[in-house]
Amino acid sequence: MNRNLLRAVILKTIPVMTGYVALGMGFGILLVSSGYGIGWALAMSVFIYAGSMQYLGVSLIANGASVISTALATLMVNARHLFYGISMIEKYKEAGKLKPYLIFALTDETYSLVCNDNGVEGSDPHFYYFLISLFDQIYWITGTLIGAWLGENLNFNTTGIDFAMTALFVTVFVEQWLTSKNHVPAVLGVAITVACLVLFGSELFLIPSMALILLSLSLGRKMLDKEAAEHE
């Protein structure tokens, strides 16, 4: 493997590494504190590999949720992945043998790294995206294992550790705010979701929120697309 490529991948993924190790640790600690050991934590991080879903999964498992409600919860929490997929169709079109893993490993954070990146000169962009995706999952698994180990071997009050998920999303939100000039989509996302939360309650608000976000962005396309073009 080309050393420049490896260096580029490591530099590129450092922010995700810090986030994933911290967040993975939070997940590992949380799962162990609910009575499930390191093997379960590993299985979830290898096969599910979706941060917020795994946090939610801890409470589903701990509360003995049904298969149906688990499937629905996953559908709602992870529906946003449909959008990531949609915007990556072009980019991953010619990825060949790497494509299944690239799609499987398209988490929020990996998406945020690859969506605006066109690769490193002199190497296959798909292999570059593959390495970014793989490294990110390795960070996530490493964090999970450290957290599960800490949870099993240290004794401290972990109440509130699940706030790591909120902190991650706030961080990404602020970062996106700083790097974009057009804040309308971000404001719409917050405002619509708050309105739906008030109207529909905390159990049902996610689907109407997603529908209204999609609708308002579609209706506002003329204005937003023009502004985006002006800022580019």
CB 122, min distance to another protein, A: 27
Task: Based on the shown chain and the rule CB under 8 A, indicate whether residue 174 belongs to the binding site for another protein.
Answer: yes
Residues 66-95 that bind another protein (CB under 8 A): 67, 70-71, 74-75, 77-90, 92-93
171, 199, 215, 219: residue in contact with another protein (rule CB under 8 A): 171
Q: Give the whole-angstrom CA distance, residue 52 versus residue 12.
A: 22
Residues 176-215 that bind another protein (CB under 8 A): 176, 178, 180, 183, 185-190, 192-194, 197, 202, 205-206, 209-210, 213-214
Residues 6-45 that bind another protein (CB under 8 A): 15, 18-19, 21-23, 26, 36, 40, 43-44
Nearer to another protein, 90 or 121 (CB): 90
Task: Based on the shown chain and the rule CB under 8 A, indicate whether residue 219 belongs to the binding site for another protein.
Answer: no
Intra-chain end-to-end CA distance of the chain, in Å: 34
Stretch that binds another protein, among 4-12, 46-54, 126-134, 142-150 (CB under 8 A): 46-54
Distances (CA, A) of 149 to 14, 23, 66: 23, 14, 28
Radius of gyration for the alpha carbons in the chain, expressed in angstroms and rounded: 19
Taking CA 180 as the corner, what is the angle to CA 177 and CA 186, rounded to the nearest 5 degrees? 50
Stretch that binds another protein, among 2-10, 126-134, 135-143, 151-159 (CB under 8 A): 151-159
Residues 105-124 that bind another protein (CB under 8 A): 106, 111-112, 115
Q: Give the whole-angstrom CA distance, residue 59 versus residue 41.
A: 13
What percent helix, strand, coil does the chain show, rounded to 5?
Answer: 80, 0, 20
CB 45, min distance to another protein, A: 11
DSSP-derived 3-state class of residue 107: coil
Q: Determine contact, residues 147/32, Cβ cutoff 8 Å.
A: yes
